[in-house]
Structure 1
């Protein structure tokens, strides 16, 4: 089983966004972060963060079951319904990335329980904002 905690951070004035994730596979934890470039809103950043995180999972790491945790209610609700009014193209990409898994479990959790992924996203965003 693969467990994925994911979060996005966004700078509202600039639209600059970043993603953070904690991957747990075979009792091994990996913390990752990346810039997501510019987004129109925080919801778009959350969808892009999950797309990015799923692309980080190596083929050898895929398993029959993936558990996805996020503090974004719209992301989790969209995964459950397989519908996102304003983000359907991003959701379709996520669904495609989830096809190797026979079981996908997605669950919303409060922001205070998603510290690892949140911290990674904030680190990437702060690093990106520093003057060169």
Structure 2
């Protein structure tokens, strides 16, 4: 089983966003950072989740044989995945569900921010790097 943690960070002044992605499997950790489309933090959390599942898909030859435990500290992402619906984010929910459908099993779980520190710290680092690059 793979474990995936994602988090987003957004600069409210510039709308710049970045993601932190942590993939854990067989005692190994992969730490990834990604620049996300500019926008609000809710959009950024969905884009971070998409980036996380994209990163997993790129690493696997046969995702249909893989189970994933997915952790997010975003209530809107967790709730939207559980309901398979989000009024203002349906396109992103559908995209995320489509990526998740490529795996054997995905267990989505909300966690408090303090239990998502790895992805959170990576997202903050990525946002700082994104700001410095501009």
Please, what TM-score do these two structures have when normalized by structure 2?
A: 0.92
In structure 1, C-alpha distance between the alignment counterparts of 2:52 and 2:133, rounded to whole Å = 26
Q: Is the 8 A contact 1:25 1:61 kept in 2?
A: no
State the number of aligned residues: 131
Question: Judging changes above 3 Å, is the alpha-carbon distance between structure 1 residues 55 and 131 closer, same or farther for their aligned structure 2 residues?
Answer: closer
Structure 2 CA distance, aligned partners of 1:19 and 1:72?
Answer: 13
Deviations 1:76-105 (A, max 9, x none): 011111111110000111011111222211
SS of residue matched to 2:49: helix
State the match for 2:50 in structure 1: 51
Partner of 1:15: helix, strand, or coil?
Answer: coil
- Residue 2 of structure 1 corresponds to 2
- Taking the aligned partners of 1:120 and 1:103, their CA distance within structure 2 comes to 26
* Structure 1: runs of 5+ lacking an equivalent: none
Task: Give the alignment's Cα RMSD to 1 decimal.
Answer: 1.4
Q: Is the 8 A contact 2:6 2:20 kept in 1?
A: yes
Separation in 1, partners of 2:26, 2:108: 19
Which residue of structure 1 aligns with residue 28 of structure 2?
Answer: 28
CA contact (8 A) 2:37 2:44 kept: no
- The SS at the match of 2:85 is coil
1:69 aligns with 2:78: no
Q: Residue 37 of structure 1 aligns with which residue?
A: 37
Equivalent residues of 1:21, 1:31 under 8 A apart: yes
* Ranges of 4+ aligned residues in structure 1 off by more than 2 Å: 59-64
